[in-house]
Amino acid sequence: MGTNGFSAGGHQTDLGLPAHNLLELSSKLKSMMGSLRQWSKEHFGFVTKELEQAKTELEQLLMQDPVGNQVAIKHIQYKMDELLYREEMMWLQRSRISWLREGDRNTNFFHRKAAWRAKKNKIRRLKAEDGRYIENKKEMEEMATTFFKNLYTRDETICPEPLLDMI
Q: Of 1-5, 60-64, 155-159, where does mean pLDDT reach its minimum?
A: 1-5
User: Residue 66 sits in which domain range?
Assistant: 46-104
**20/38 same-domain check:** yes
Q: How many CB atoms lie within 10 A of CB 51?
A: 17
Residue 113 predicted with pLDDT over 60: yes
Question: 61 or 22: which carries more pLDDT confidence?
Answer: 61
Calculate mean pLDDT across residues 115-127: 84
In a domain, 116, yes or no: no
Confidence of residue 144 (pLDDT cuts 50, 70, 90): very high
**75/89 same-domain check:** yes
Q: How many CB atoms lie within 10 A of CB 103?
A: 11
The pLDDT score that the predictor gives to residue 7 is 41
Render pLDDT for 98-107 as a digit per residue (tens, 0 to 9): 666 666 555 6
- Number of domains making up the chain: 3
Calculate mean pLDDT across residues 12-39: 74
**92/51 same-domain check:** yes
**39/53 same-domain check:** no
